[in-house]
Amino acid sequence: MAASLKRLDLEYVDLVFAHRPDRQTPIEETVRAFNHLITTGQALYWGTSEWNADEIAQAWRYADKLGLIGPLMEQPAYNMLNREKVELEYAHLYRETGLGLTTFSPLNKGLLTGKYKNGIPDDSRFAQTDVPFIKDFLSKNPKEKWDPVIRQVNSLEPIAEKLGISQGTLALAWVLANPNVSSAIIGASRPEQVFQNVKALEAVEKLTPEILKEIDELLGNKPAEITQRF
């Protein structure tokens, strides 16, 4: 950590992530290690990335038992096509621990921009079939899996047009409209993409309960709500 701070030319970071769970190390040890970074002034808080709900809950049990700080932020993938973990699995953690989310892949590798509605453009990410990651993804998503997803994404185009925004902006705004999402990690290969991404901040207010319901009905993938009994 000290070497990282030196390279960043910082005395401390606000938040440090346990990037992916280390299931070969006891969670208590992980909790102690990240609290050491906090007590030595190298970080203010710590969070997790791609941990499951039980692992985060265990971390909080050890933190409470030891009088330490539990993970305050989780970094999961979250987008219109990938909802289960954020909306269902973590549901009790927002209430019980105040967990916040810094989500990644809000456009699901660009699929939610609508650019693939008529096939794979030559200048798009998935046209780079010599890249190992792309080659692997396409091999796991043949036509019979790809086409239904594209039809699902295409069904959102009329909503974006009605709101006067691009499909990419709609997808980003949808993520930010979730009250448990603190921020969304974005990427861009061209300046105009940055502009479209930033416009999502203004578009959030356009996502009324009626629009969100319409999106849910089109996608048909909203996780069932958990009923609590007290």
Instruction: Provide the residue ranges of all domains of the chain, joining segments of one domain with +.
Output: 108-178+189-222
Between the CA of residue 76 and those of 55, 104, 105, 133, 142, what are the distances in Å? 14, 6, 9, 19, 25
Query: What pLDDT does 121 receive?
Result: 80
| Angstrom distance (rounded) from CA 73 to CA 11 | 21
pTM for the model stands at 0.89
C-alpha 222/C-alpha 174 separation (Å) is: 13
The number of CA neighbours under 13 Å toward the Cβ of 203 is 26
Stretch 209-228: mean pLDDT, rounded? 89
pLDDT tens figures, 9-31: 999 999 999 999 999 999 999 99
* Confidence category of residue 228, pLDDT binned at 50, 70, 90: low
Give phi and psi for 182, each to the nearest 5. -80, -40
41-67 pLDDT, tens digit each: 999 999 999 999 999 999 999 999 999
What residues pair up with 45 in beta bridges, in sequence order?
15
